[in-house]
Amino acid sequence: MPAMANGLLFVYTDPGPVPVAEFNDWYDNEHGPLRLTVPGISAGYRFRALDDKAPQWLAYYEMKPGVLDSPEYKALATSASAREKSIMSSLATLDRRVYEPLSDSGVAASAGWAATADAADAADGAPPVVLAVSLSVPPGLEDDLAAWYADEHIPMLLAVPGWRRIRRFRLTGGTAPAYLSLHELADMSVFQEAAYRAAVSTPWMKRIVDSAIGRERRVFGLHKSFGD
């Protein structure tokens, strides 16, 4: 049984009026690295949308419980630079979500990226592509959702070549669907595999998707990693 994953601080952003070059310079060289100075935040990753949807940017940070209430994390706001304050106040989208872990499955969960022959491009732990699927289900269907993931969906997806890791989370902060599944993929070609098409065509999946509330499905490619 792989070790339980950390929780996540999961943030969608769009720069709006901020020039993209300035936005990325700020995030890559100031905002992101500063978060990695907080004890309990072990790694962070930035991604850009591959699905032509908005928001265009995703960042998430691996963190221990209670980090966001720590003095060190709160000090980031009180000591923020003028540029930090200006850009944060100008963003067109700042969708901040906090998650606690439910499950962690796959090669990366148990052995690390570099343990697989096809993982040389991600030996630092950064997934090349992520699929983020969030949804809620009506009261009384949570057990069916959990059983579907554990007994059918996760095993079928992990049998797809290039499908490396699947983590499930429950929302604890922010406004979003109640559950997130975060999938780490080798590249976009996984969606062309016959095993993937089979995994997303089962009667059980159709029942879950038909009952889902506020389902979101996003695909992102790696832009930068911090601290891993």
pLDDT over 60 (residue 218): yes
- Of 183, 224, 228, 187, the C-alpha closest to 46 is 224
105-119 pLDDT, tens digit each: 997 544 443 333 333
- Of 225, 216, 226, 222, the C-alpha closest to 95 is 216
CATH assignment of the domain containing 84: 3.30.70.100
In a domain, 31, yes or no: yes
Q: Is 151 exposed, middle or buried (0-12, 13-18, 19+ CB in 10 A)?
A: exposed
Residues 44, 61 contacting (CB under 8 angstroms): yes
- Of 226, 103, 99, 104, the C-alpha closest to 165 is 104
Give the per-residue pLDDT at 5: 54
36-90 pLDDT, tens digit each: 999 999 999 999 999 999 999 999 999 999 999 999 999 999 999 999 999 999 9
Q: Is 93 exposed, middle or buried (0-12, 13-18, 19+ CB in 10 A)?
A: middle
Give the count of beta carbons closer than 10 Å to the beta carbon of residue 85. Answer: 11
Give the per-residue pLDDT at 111: 43
In a domain, 114, yes or no: yes
pTM of the model: 0.91
Q: Is 24 helix (H, G, I), strand (E, B) or coil?
A: helix
Provide the residue range defining the domain that includes 58: 7-226
Domain count, the chain: 1
The Cα–Cα gap between 172 and 96 comes to: 11
In a domain, 155, yes or no: yes
In a domain, 2, yes or no: no
In a domain, 220, yes or no: yes
Rg (CA), the chain: 18
Q: For the chain, what is the largest distance between any 2 Cα atoms, rounded to a whole number of angstroms?
A: 53
Give the per-residue pLDDT at 3: 45
In a domain, 30, yes or no: yes
